[in-house]
Copies of this chain bind each other. A is one copy, B any other.
Amino acid sequence: MRFYSDNTASICPELLEALVQANVGHAPAYGRDAWTQRLDTVLGQFFGAPVRAFAVPTGTAANALALAAVSPPYGAIFAHEQSHVIRDECGAPTFYSGGAQLVELRGPQGKLTPAIVSAALNANPASIHTVQTSAVSLAQATEAGTVYRPGEIAALAELAHSHGLKVHVDGARLANALVFLGCEPADISWRAGVDVLTFGATKNGALAAEAVIFFDAALARDFELRRKRAGHLLSKSRYIAAQLLAYVESGVWHRNASHANALAQQLAAHAQRWLMHPVESNELFLDLGASNRERLRTAGFGFFDWGAADSGHARFVVSWDQSVADVSALCAALDLL
């Protein structure tokens, strides 16, 4: 029973069907196909505002290309020390931006706050000798499984903008955050001041499809050239666009995330003793200790250890296709610890 990651999940039927439906004869390549041509409209409707939307196959590419649009080579990007862009992308944002530094900030529950960002700006005043802070990157949901409230994002964006910084959101699990909040996509994106956002479908049922969403078209000015140069413009672009369209139009983004979130809540109820963070999406971080981890593994549960080697922490991720039986079994096993 696998709780390793939502990356281990399969493709959901609606999205696989979308691939099959798109597989009809010839179609223009490199984004001139009918599917890609609809992305701006369909994602604009989803977010409730005009957008420029671009499809790429991975979340790392999506984040790195988005950050390259808001940071010069001599720039710096504030992000939480546990963020994917710092910990898990092998330096991709630096590579894509041509050199921008990622500056690690600490904050409780995987979140940044205006006070944290403000302190960082004050501690290192800009000069000709320093990298120039250009953006704040947030993850929604965070790498701690928590979710920023609309007001939290708005407050961060207001501070960021007042210092000339742009706001990026890593939305690899945006659907899970939206389901948890029950708000409109606009509330945690442009309406809260977000400049560029990545909207992930892969973890939530796609084969490989992420959208980079710009709410300010000026920032997207050279995106297509940067994407091509990075090898992320798919030649048979219809197949990636078709996934994104179906993800939004069929409603599977909501159904799949709701399923995963609900099962995560069920697990949380049995894991209260060990919860390191509130469970607000489809991830649980548990301070189990090494022996409990071992007992769960022996009982057949797969999951990753988390944090420092001797921490005793563990991460459990509930996927869109996780069975209720898996979760029930894990609940029972947790009760026995």
Contact = CB atoms under 8 A, between A and B. Distances in A.
Interface of A: 2, 4-5, 7-11, 16, 19-20, 23-31, 56-62, 64-65, 72-74, 76, 87-92, 94-96, 98-104, 122-125, 128-132, 202-203, 207-208, 222, 224-226, 228-236, 239-240, 307-310, 319, 321
B26 A10 contact: yes
Contact of A233 (B58, B65, B229): B58
B228 A124 contact: no
9 contacts: A2-B26, A57-B57, A60-B228, A76-B91, A95-B229, A99-B229, A101-B101, A207-B236, A207-B239
A9 B23 contact: no
Smallest CB-CB A-B distances: 7 pairs? A61-B231, A7-B29, A60-B231, A98-B98, A7-B235, A90-B229, A90-B228
B25 A58 contact: no
Given A16-B19, A90-B129, 19 more contacts: A10-B25, A11-B23, A11-B236, A30-B128, A57-B57, A57-B208, A57-B234, A58-B231, A59-B235, A61-B231, A64-B231, A73-B98, A92-B230, A94-B94, A96-B231, A98-B99, A128-B228, A203-B235, A208-B235
Contacts of A95: 73-74, 99, 229-230
B89 A232 contact: no
Contacts of A58: 231-235
Contact of A122 (B9, B91, B225, B309): B309
A293 to B, nearest CB: 16
Given A58-B231, A64-B231, A9 B26 contact: yes
A8 to B, nearest CB: 4
Contact of A90 (B2, B11, B130, B309): B130
A90 B131 contact: yes
A294 B202 CA distance: 44
B26 A228 contact: no
Contact of A231 (B29, B56, B128, B319): B56
A310 B234 contact: no
A125 B235 contact: no
Contacts of A72: 222, 225
